[in-house]
Chain A
Amino acid sequence: MTVTVTGLVRRFGAATALDGVSFALAEGEFAALLGPSGSGKSTLLRILAGLEGSEAGEVRIAGRSMAGVPARARNIGVVFQNYALFRHMTIFENVAFGLRVRPRAARPDRAETARRVRELLQLVQIPELERRYPDQVSGGQRQRVALARALAIEPHLLLLDEPFGALDALVRRDVRRWLRGLHDRLGLTTLLVTHDQEEAMELADRVAVMERGRVVQFDPPAALLAAPATPFVAGFIGHAARLEGEVRAGVLRFGSLPLPPLRAALPDGPATAFLRPGAVVAEALAEAPGGAPPAAIELLRVTAEGERRAVLTLGGVTLEARLAPGSEARAARGAPCRLHIAGAQVFGAGGGRAEARPLRAAPVL
């Protein structure tokens, strides 16, 4: 089903949780709502589910306005943050709940209920657990129960509220891939709420980044990286380091910091640059060129992929840099180095954005 949200506003006392949110989901799309805690994403999800009211704005699902439609009539599957499983029911009973509370006319009979529950438990790969109670299974299993329970009502839309928060890192990655696979098979329109950008980038077709009650950008993951719409997105996505500089005549300089100037198509004035770790290269030197060293490696770390990275502090900002090929042997804690920048996202004071490039082709790349 398609979902259209227009101009949603929600306040809690003086605080504004949603400040005019608008977006649309296409049929069968897997979208993620990404934002730091307090950005209003959970409130948005609760309004969609009918668990929360809004002061202004409209939610349409499959073209139909949801105004005045209570949660129980919306047919939206929700997987809650802590799963909210019914502790006094077995896993079977939990999954069957949505079928058993249907109006008599629409209620499947006992055998049909059992068949559908078993089918769902098969689907989420825990058929052997049906007689257990929620407190008797692991976190990952509970999450599958919550999903099966939400799917049992054959929802138009599936909402997932930080569903991986309670899982440990290893399980989380497995369950994530499994969930995406499941979505691809079922084709259900799905909205995932998360504060974990990797999770959002890996799972979702499109990611809506939320900042202080607004959706500031709603794009495929690659577009978020390539063309962040605001400084907030640029900083939030991809662990970028934020550095202040000044543009003069199309060239960005970082004052006294030992960074090379960049070409940036922006009007003159102060500007903010976001440097992603992969875009900075440190070339370790045998000795400091002409007196004081321009920059010094503070420590070296190894990434999960086995690559060595140099960590430096410039003007109070921590920066991570790749090591230039050929200078790796010289890289050591405290070693002087020269920095090269492959590219950066730059935002001017007037709000303009530019992709910054080196003045010369970098010799070390």
Chain B
Amino acid sequence: MSERPGIADPAWVRALLAGAALLVGLLLLALPLAVVFAEALRRGWGVATAALADPDTLSAIRLTLLVAAITVPVNLVGGLAAAWCIAKHDFPGRRLLTTLIELPFSVSPVISGLVFVLLFGLQGWFGPWLQARDIQIVFALPGLVLATLFVTFPFVARTVLPLMQEQGRTEEEAAATLGASGWQVFRRVTLPNVQWALLSGVLLCNARAMGEFGAVSVVSGHIRGQTNTVPLHVEILYNEYQFAGAFAVAALLALLGLATLAAKTALERLTGRRLGEGTGDAA
């Protein structure tokens, strides 16, 4: 019994499409992931867990978490402010601002690292000044944070802005007529309306922050145990012919990414149902 015989495709077409989609998913998406885990466990659990328990790995994990812990809140605040300001206010240059916020997406990660070397490296604009004051930016935590900030810059704004625009301004205007201050309007009216999209943006931002390679590689200095993030550590292990170890650490990163995805999917399911309750079944 087909549900919509008027427009439904023949069963074999549907089966073919579903099969093709599953094949694409398998070959293009699942297989690379499977390789990571298969290679990680090729020499057994022992080798994999030993690679993870290595002090250098542990310090890389801590560094990566620290970088993400700084990056995400900064981009959260900035992204929210930008989205709010663009969606809820009129001012000349809104379009330009939107474009500028998206700019880092079209900049190569390598360039994202390069610009900070050009700025803060010893041969850069501020390098000599910084060294005279004994301040280290590139090849230290601040450089890693800056490069990661740049790369993950648009995530929050991008996920929240369209929703804010779609929701319009009437609720905020209503709040304003009721005497709410800017912060109160934002905190009590706008934020609750976008919180789920916001969380999803934060999760994406976090996933990218923990997984960034190109930009971070340029500014890291690759000092073992000090400025090696997890993705860089994967490269190091790989270059040391410790393939099982490299893939074990890679698998850990992949698991972090998968957990992020699971959280995001769960969130969407949750919000999907919420939205469904609101609109009811009109059909």
Contact = CB atoms under 8 A, between A and B. Distances in A.
Q: Is there a direct interface between A and B, measured as CB atoms under 8 Å apart in the complex?
A: yes
Interface of A: 46, 49-53, 55, 70-71
A52 B1 CA distance: 10
Q: Which of B2, B4, B6 is packed against the most chain A CB atoms within 10 Å?
A: B6
Nearest to A46: B6
Interface in B1-32: 1-2, 4-7
Nearest to A49: B6
A71 B2 contact: no
> Which secondary structure characterizes the binding site on chain A?
loop
A190 B5 CA distance: 23
B245 to A, nearest CB: 54
A71 B7 CA distance: 8
A53 B1 contact: yes
Q: Which of A50, A53, A71 is packed against the most chain B CB atoms within 10 Å?
A: A53
Q: Which of B1, B4, B5, B7 is packed against the most chain A CB atoms within 10 Å?
A: B5
Interface of B: 1-2, 4-7
Contacts of A53: 1-2, 5
B211 to A, nearest CB: 38
A52 B5 CA distance: 5
A65 to B, nearest CB: 15
11 contacts: A49-B6, A50-B6, A51-B5, A52-B4, A53-B1, A53-B2, A53-B5, A55-B1, A70-B6, A71-B5, A71-B7
Nearest to A74: B6
A-B CB proximity, top 6 nearest: A51-B6, A71-B6, A53-B5, A50-B6, A53-B2, A51-B4
Contacts of A49: 6
A71 B4 CA distance: 10
Contacts of B1: 53, 55
A140 B109 CA distance: 52
Contacts of B7: 51, 71
A49 B6 CA distance: 8
A337 B5 CA distance: 60
Nearest to B5: A53
A71 B2 CA distance: 14
Q: Which of A49, A51, A55 is packed against the most chain B CB atoms within 10 Å?
A: A51
A70 B2 CA distance: 13
B174 to A, nearest CB: 24
Contacts of B2: 53
A55 B6 CA distance: 15
Contacts of B6: 46, 49-52, 70-71
Contacts of A52: 4-6
A55 B5 CA distance: 12
B3 to A, nearest CB: 8
Contacts of A46: 6
B166 to A, nearest CB: 15
Nearest to B283: A42
B13 to A, nearest CB: 14
A138 to B, nearest CB: 20
Given A51-B6, A70-B5, 18 more contacts: A46-B6, A49-B6, A50-B5, A50-B6, A51-B4, A51-B5, A51-B7, A52-B4, A52-B5, A52-B6, A53-B1, A53-B2, A53-B5, A55-B1, A70-B6, A71-B5, A71-B6, A71-B7
A25 to B, nearest CB: 21
Contacts of B4: 51-52
Nearest to A72: B6
A128 to B, nearest CB: 31
Contacts of B5: 50-53, 70-71
A50 B5 CA distance: 7
Contacts of A71: 5-7
B278 to A, nearest CB: 18
B77 to A, nearest CB: 36
